[in-house]
Chain A
Amino acid sequence: MAPKLLSSTNFKSLFNSVDTFLFDCDGVIWKGDTLIDGVSHTLDLLRSKASSLSHSGKNIVFVTNNSMKSRRQYAEKFRSLGLTSVTQDEIFSSSFAAAMYLKANNFPKDKKVYVIGGEGILEELHLAGFTGLGGPEDGEKKAQWKSNSLFQHDKTVGAVVVGLDPNINYYKLQYGTLCVRENPGCLFIATNRDAVGHMTDLQEWPGAGCMVAAMCGSTEREPIVVGKPATFMMDFLIQKFGTETSRMCMVGDRLDTDVLFGQNAGCKTLLVLSGCTSESNLLDENNKIEPDYYTSMVSDITKLMDSP
């Protein structure tokens, strides 16, 4: 069915059929480190138990594929942008998802995890009781290729987790490649595979999909993906709210992660055009992913809630 432009006529039915709104972050709440206009007010209004449309307020969670920060670090980012009501329990980052995946699959505590990605992944691994290697500090390392020297890697690494890494370099690719190819049973986990993202407000930058594909190129293996559109994180959300996914609405700016995630899990989906997807991308005949609704930005919700 063709996506409906969100309007005062259809907004009420969406609002009443949903108890929980899931928001993506990059391109929806902020762009890089710049808050998108009107977001703060909209979130407050949605939570409010005294709005004209609802007396119980809506649940709000944030589901982000950006693995650079941990949930705790994201909560700090929200606070620094003035969104002080957001707590870390409401944030589901792919860094958290990676650690939870290992926990859920009983990854042995005596094995290590090699990380090609940011501090966020290392912090979440540590919180879950796992030993992480690599991460940002390996961005300083250089490989040596001399006849008599071997590039060493820890044989106890049982998983390589790959996420967005602006400090990607040959050393990390080689380390991760040796672990996956040579350590028996080594897992290859991707936090997500987004091709590009708004790492700064002015333009898009290569996303985790780039680092993950680099590793696919050298290992000749496909990874286990824990972030959107995989529905792994949805299990945590269902547990947290005890509601059906049909009473949830995923709000995001990307069709092949946010909207697909929502659809795969059976949620309603709302695409915002404040991020990486334009109206022409959405309506292009080659596009096969159709959200239930679309609107220009999150703050449109405020206008629609206030309208008679």
Chain B
Amino acid sequence: MLNRTTLVSSSSVSLLPNSKPFFSVKAFSGFRSSSFSGGFIRRIDHKPLRVMTPNLTPRAMAAQQLENADQLIDSVETFIFDCDGVIWKGDKLIEGVPETLDMLRAKGKRLVFVTNNSTKSRKQYGKKFETLGLNVNEEEIFASSFAAAAYLQSINFPKDKKVYVIGEEGILKELDLAGFQYLGGPDDGKKQIELKPGFLMEHDNDVGAVVVGFDRYFNYYKIQYGTLCIRENPGCLFIATNRDAVTHLTDAQEWAGGGSMVGALVGSCQREPLVVGKPSTFMMDYLADKFGIEKSQICMVGDRLDTDILFGQNGGCKTLLVLSGVTSISMLESPENKIQPDFYTSKISDFLSLKAANV
């Protein structure tokens, strides 16, 4: 019954990062070996290659620990960074981030920040970056709150229709900027209902889309309002900013994420939403189009396998997992994990230290 991911568009997953020689492995099912090009070779010390018994299901190519940062950096034009667990944790900047971003910019790389967190607008995120001493422009930030508004624009959602929001301020601000009328949001968190005979909840028949995201002011009133719109307004869209199960609201622990609120609406409407945030490729397609970038020229850097890395893979980009957020090395290497990034490293400032080691 649970269907967590909906792709807006899908691209084929490229197993080979690009045509340049790489410190990587060719994908043969069940085999794990050191680098080679195009064939099966014996290592110089004449010891046989480590070969695992092939199994019937193709194994994802195992992630390589990042050793030659320069090679990765030189092979792409754009870096897309997730924020929570990559740039910051809660309100604390992760060590070495400012210098790393500066180095990449000095090398002429384009930097983009893509976050599933819909509580703030791009402008508000711009302020957060500024407060943390980072040199980032609002135009480089793509939050799922922005994605929802951008999606509605892309389908020419009529300006005379309204949007009901189950979510926080960030979504409201972005809808406003895009010129859409909205209802709901945090204020509806104060509304109570009394289930008694003769009581009827009315809803606006002009609502043409319900946008659901992370909502700390979630309540039964909003669930019912959204449910009535989706079930009764003909053609009403059901859009989810993201479906993350848990999120790091504070750096100390996990908190129930947008996947919970979206799940609630799926439960009452028995409909799957259109997801605009990671791992859906909507935001990838949007910025590739906006900046005129080739997806193979992008490296996605994130801390979460089922959103960040899957987003990068679905988009046909290179992927780098950092262990400074929610994913540990044991989670990456667990037999239950099916998502393998191209590379992994402990944190993004490794770009500086690994680079220095190779000079």
Contact = CB atoms under 8 A, between A and B. Distances in A.
B303 to A, nearest CB: 17
B150 interface: no
B218 A170 contact: yes
Interface residues of A, number: 45
Contact of A201 (B197, B261, B266): B197
Nearest to B218: A170
Given A167-B220, A168-B223, A169-B218, A214 B263 contact: yes
Interface string A137-178: 000000101110111000000000000011111100110011
A218 B261 CA distance: 9
B266 to A, nearest CB: 5
Given A170-B215, A206-B224, A200 B195 contact: yes
B254 to A, nearest CB: 7
A136 to B, nearest CB: 13
A166 B220 CA distance: 5
B198 interface: yes
A206 B221 CA distance: 10
Given A169-B219, A213-B267, A216-B2, A203 B201 contact: yes
Interface in B93-138: none
A28 to B, nearest CB: 17
Interface in B229-248: 243, 245-246
Given A150-B252, A218-B260, A220-B245, A173 B218 contact: yes
Given A150-B252, A202-B200, A193 B267 contact: yes
A177 to B, nearest CB: 4
B270 interface: yes
Contact of B195 (A166, A195, A207, A219): A166
B90 interface: yes
A34 interface: yes
Interface string A189-219: 0000101100111110111011111111111
B254 A143 contact: no
Nearest to B227: A206
A203 B200 contact: yes
Interface in A228-284: none
Contacts of B215: 170
Nearest to A171: B216
A181 interface: yes
B262 interface: yes
B250 A217 contact: no
Given A168-B218, A173-B256, A206-B224, A32 B197 contact: yes
A219 B250 CA distance: 18
A177 B256 contact: yes
B186 to A, nearest CB: 12
A298 B217 CA distance: 41
Contacts of B255: 143, 145, 151, 174
In this complex, the member of A169, A174, A210 whose beta carbon has the largest number of chain B beta carbons within 10 angstroms is: A210
A5 B240 CA distance: 42
A306 interface: no
A195 B256 contact: no
A57 to B, nearest CB: 32
B181 to A, nearest CB: 25
A199 B220 CA distance: 12
Contacts of A218: 245-246, 256-257, 259-260, 263
Nearest to A202: B200
Contacts of A37: none
B249 interface: yes
Contacts of A170: 215-218, 256
B268 A207 contact: yes
Contacts of A89: none
Nearest to B264: A214
A34 B64 CA distance: 65
Contacts of B245: 217-220
Contacts of B246: 177, 181, 218
Contact of A195 (B193, B254, B268): B268
B225 to A, nearest CB: 10
7 contacts: A146-B250, A147-B90, A174-B256, A200-B198, A206-B227, A210-B264, A217-B264
Interface of B: 1-2, 4, 90-92, 193, 195-201, 215-220, 223-224, 227-228, 243, 245-246, 249-257, 259-270
